[in-house]
Chain A
């Protein structure tokens, strides 16, 4: 539990990511106003150089590990953090940049950069938990504002955050959505996807894209024929799992099954 007498120090760290999850934090401005004095927030959005100083009660880590330098830096962050929470698909599953894990990154670099030899990068993009121990993982691409607030609030109160790992379908039904898969014939990853968004896409007649990665006990193999019956060919069924959470083991295995 955080020490309520001293002001808890909260730090935000960025690794390979798009900043979307940090924007969610900025979006909590109104809520944080009520918090003035309760928490001291230290942002380190681009702190890739220089010395890290001090210790932090709670570190929120965005982004994945893609360079040797970052692999070092995350160890330093861990050393300085009493609690380390990873936020978003990059930090928890390697992110969209995890697609490099399915390809040869040197080829990519040669295509994109004029002097690929200047690029110091790892062959893979990996989640933070592959490098250091993580106290809690918050899923999503991007994370949901209400869940981020829940994580911080729970930390301050010394309780476990309520971020259920069941399917999106449960939230979809709580919300009263009509199932797009059954009633509209729209393919949906909701049954295999971790809840968190409140079933946003089905509420707007779209199938779930799997932003929150695999649910606690995903059965992608059983969902597969249903997706096929709704018109997704093998290539679609491979690609639908190779997005933000391509590196999450359950999604990775499912997409690999459809390799040509």
Chain B
């Protein structure tokens, strides 16, 4: 009997907590949209300078690591493809495989995961630290809205930086594939380039691009949400930073699944 009570109680609590979390995420999304879109349209200023600073931090400063990882993954992918296609004497088609997979899938995904680790966690840590040191309270006492001042600049920076990074990442990934296939395996450069151009459709770019915007929204909102959840001191910040990375990577892959299901079938 008591086991049953416990089970029902537990299920109830988990459900309530999840509903509560969903409600709070909805409030956050609505608040962000309000301060990022509605208020600027009414002529109330955006914090553009802060947004630009964050764009440089999230986008430009992530370029080296995103570039390096994408280059290496392009190379790895093409080696695997060569292994597979050599048996059919079709090594020149490595270009098609690498190109399409990079643009549609791997570049958006790798960029998003790298940005989660690099910037999503930083967002959670920054907001969490500000919460612990009462800086958020200080903003509110001064009559300044934390969403407008902290969240919106990061949000704008993230959703603009991540598609740019993704496109650059895709190009570098293709170049990584090119480097291995042409200089190691010995496929003709023209053939590789032509095959790549023929294989990739505009639609592939468009879906990869739009997918990455959604990844950016996920990274930013998860970071912000976890940051505002911080309670207690420094260990609270650490806990929520870690948790922001885990949640964000899970949600990115989940969004990817839904996106792929909708657009490729």
Do the two chains belong together in a single complex? no
Q: Which residues of B does A touch, CB under 8 Å? A: none
A residues near B (Cβ < 8 Å) are none
